Chain A
Amino acid sequence: MSARTAARDAEFTAYLQARQARLLRTAYLLTGDKHQAEDVLQTSLAKLYLAWDKVRDRDSVDAYVRRIMVNENNSLWRRGWRKREFTTEVLPEAPVTDTYDEGLGAALWSVVQSLPPKARAVVVLRYYEQLTEAETADLLGISVGTVKSQCSRAIATMRDRFPADLDPREQEEER
């Protein structure tokens, strides 16, 4: 292995150690499935590794790999990944009602999971990654207006789908 390759690998290893867990969490929120998230993450990291010489000197490595993850997830979705079924010896978990919020959290998560991949990417980047509307638009290659409308639509969907007794406003009032 050349000294240059060794140096590149050392840099990349440091990046892996520092950022991988965070990226896995984002991938999980994008995909809604841990195995799928790991697959998206591994492919995205591989693509990042291949382009490392080009992006490592920039401050935008996280944005670069986030963009790859979003595209990978959209690609998986287009390829019908979600139609696959896997056999397992472990019984699926029963629906969980979160005790901390009397089921509101699970209901919110359900809504997020039901969003189309691109809309969910907007929600994850805005509300989990805390990117600005402009940053989200830039990363996804869409307009700020589209980010705003996707977010508004997601929030409107939540309003529509929530039973009144799960509406946080109602909960606040009851308290």
Chain B
Amino acid sequence: MSDHEWESRVSRELGQRAQGLDETPFSLDQVKGRAGSIRRTRRLAVAGAVLASAAVVVPIAVVSGQGLGDTDSAPGPATSPTTSPTTSSATPTRATDGVTPAPAPTADAIGVDYLDGSTWVRPDGTAVPLDIAYRGGAVLGETLLGVRDNTDTNRHFIDVVSPDGAVGESIEITSGLAVSDDRSVVAFVEPNGDLMTMWDPAAGEGGRVAIASGLTVGTFTVDPIAVVGGPTCGPEDECRVFYNAGDGVSPPRVASSDGTDVLVVPGDVPAVAVSDASDAGLVTVQQTSQDQGSCNGLYDITSAAYLWTTCDRFLLDLNPAGSVVATTHAYLDGPGNGYVALVDAASQEEVARFDPSDGVVVTQTWLDDETLLALVLDGRGSSIWRFGTDGSSERVTSRSTGGGYDTSPTHVLLVGY
């Protein structure tokens, strides 16, 4: 029998097996109920991912129609091919003891560190091969902090990775990883409930300190969202870590290196979570959350008052100066945000909007006060875009995977997790 005959037979058999299943078991309410559960879980799980980053946007007209296309990022120059991660456009090499290293290979330089599969791409485009593809992370100086999961044990770790890609220490964490705007300090929670800050991974206890302890809410572990101050959290500097309770209900708090640990929004004013904080004293606060959306506000710690509130937008990230806040639709979920709109922090006016017509914005981070990097995922792959406050836009790197929306982006912006 030919293959075609076999295929026809399989088609008939599958059709007959499925025949009679004419039920429509789920109502809209049932679907919405499951959706609400998923959304709550995701919010708790990824709260740390929506952190010290913010977006500047670009007029829609500039961006529309510029999908990923089918072109991958250009390969780097030919190099000595000792290791070649399949997901990387570059051909990175790792220096070997006693052997003169080949010239460092390069990938697409975007001005900051990022991950492309299992390759760590430095700001100048130098590609460093890694043993695994981390799902998130941050860079402190010349050290990569890669976040990985052990799916067998459901435990989570930060790998401390040296500039040559070698893993040194691994730190178990029970939260997301928050990083300051200037990438000088990170915060995370260890299994014992200590809220740790770290600014020098190589310095052992001299480069890290717990600024709060015993931070658990029932079965939930708190999630650090933003770190301000620095450049250390040691006694000589002042730093503060804004964190959410993790249960989606308890109000957010801020722990300081001076030993205080207080509510971000004191009194009876509603606040269930923070999404970012700036050195300027502004905090983006989620006031309420319902299945249909959320109400949010820009809170000024100095005056202890909301500058404004809205139920039409979710507030993502403040630029370092605190003059512009990146926002998105009030209804958060799905594989990413449908658009990112830039709002003037003082006037609340939308100044620009980035709406990738063919994808969603997964993460974004301020490169500086005028430039936003955005990681975009569409049905074909992921790409990183640079957007200027002047309306300019540029796709700085892309990767076609064909993996669809349910595939994790190949690229990772190192803005925490």
Interface residues of A (CB under 8 A from B): 1-2, 5, 9, 12-13, 16-17, 20-21, 24-26, 28-29, 34, 38, 41-43, 45-47, 49-51, 53-54, 60, 64, 67-68, 71, 78, 104-105, 108-109, 112, 123-124, 126-128, 130, 137-139, 141-142, 151-152, 154-155, 158-159, 167-169, 172
Q: Which of A17, A109, A151 contacts B13 (CB 8 A)?
A: A109
- The reply to whether B26 and A54 contact each other, CB–CB distance below 8 Å, is no
15 A-B pairs whose Cβ atoms sit less than 8 Å apart in the complex: A1-B292, A9-B28, A16-B31, A17-B24, A20-B25, A24-B25, A25-B21, A50-B35, A123-B10, A127-B14, A128-B14, A141-B404, A155-B3, A169-B5, A172-B1
**Chain A residue nearest to B31 in the complex (CB):** A45
Interface members, chain B 1-55 (any A CB < 8 Å): 1, 3, 5-7, 9-11, 13-18, 21-28, 30-32, 34-35, 37-39
A107 to chain B, nearest CB (A): 9
* With A16-B26, A21-B23, A41-B25 as contacts: A46 and B35 at CB distance below 8 Å: yes
Question: Contacts A1-B292, A46-B35; is A13 near B28 (CB within 8 Å)?
Answer: yes
Q: Are B30 and A128 in contact (CB under 8 A)?
A: no
Q: How far is the CB of A131 from chain B (nearest CB, A)?
A: 12
B406 touches A71 (CB 8 A): yes
Cα distance A137–B380 in the bound complex, in angstroms: 12
In the complex, the answer to whether A112 meets B406 with C-beta atoms within 8 Å is no
Do the beta carbons of A124 and B14 come within 8 Å of each other?
Answer: yes
Looking at B183-191, B202-210, B330-338, the stretch in contact with chain A turns out to be B330-338
Q: Is the CB of A47 within 8 A of B38?
A: yes
CB-based closest 5 A-B pairs = A141-B403, A51-B334, A25-B18, A169-B1, A46-B34
**How close is A112's CB to chain B, nearest CB, in angstroms?**
7
- A16-B28 contact, Cβ under 8 Å, with A47-B35, A51-B334, A109-B17: yes
Q: Does B123 belong to the interface (CB within 8 Å)?
A: no
Pick from A53, A141, A142: contact of B329, CB below 8 A.
A53
Give Cα A47–Cα B31 distance, bound, in whole angstroms: 9
Please give 16 more A-B residue pairs, beta carbons under 8 A apart, in addition to A1-B292, A67-B406, A168-B6.
A2-B292, A5-B292, A16-B31, A20-B25, A41-B26, A42-B30, A47-B334, A68-B406, A112-B14, A124-B14, A127-B10, A127-B14, A128-B15, A158-B10, A159-B6, A167-B1
User: Within 8 Å of chain A (Cβ to Cβ): is B402?
Assistant: yes
A158 to B9, alpha carbons, bound, how many Å? Answer: 11
- Candidates B151, B335, B404; contact of A139 at CB < 8 Å: B404
Q: Is the CB of B15 within 8 A of A24?
A: no
Asked if B401 is at the interface (CB within 8 A of a chain A CB), the reply is: yes
B23 cross-chain contacts in A, Cβ below 8 A: 21, 24
User: Which residue of chain A lies nearest to B336 when distances are taken between CB atoms in the complex?
Assistant: A54
User: Does B405 lie at the interface of the complex (its beta carbon under 8 Å from any beta carbon of A)?
Assistant: yes
B179 sits at the interface (CB 8 A): no
- Chain B residues positioned under 8 Å from A154 (CB to CB): 10
- A158 touching B24 in the complex, CB below 8 Å, given contacts A49-B32, A141-B407: no
**Per-position contact with A for B328-353: 1 when CB-CB < 8 Å, else 0?**
01010111001000000000000000
Known: A49-B32, A108-B10. A21 touches B404 (CB 8 A): no
Compute how far the CA of A20 lies from the CA of B238 in the bound complex, rounded to whole angstroms. Answer: 56
In the complex, the chain A residue whose C-beta lies closest to that of B9 is: A168
Q: Are B333 and A128 in contact (CB under 8 A)?
A: no
Given contacts A64-B405, A108-B13, A128-B18, contact A16 B5 (CB under 8 A): no
- Measured between beta carbons, the chain A residues less than 8 angstroms from B329 are 53
Q: Judge whether B360 is part of the interface by a CB distance below 8 angstroms.
A: yes
Whether the pair B31, A155 counts as a contact (CB closer than 8 A) is: no
- Assess whether B18 is in contact with A45, with CB atoms less than 8 Å apart: no
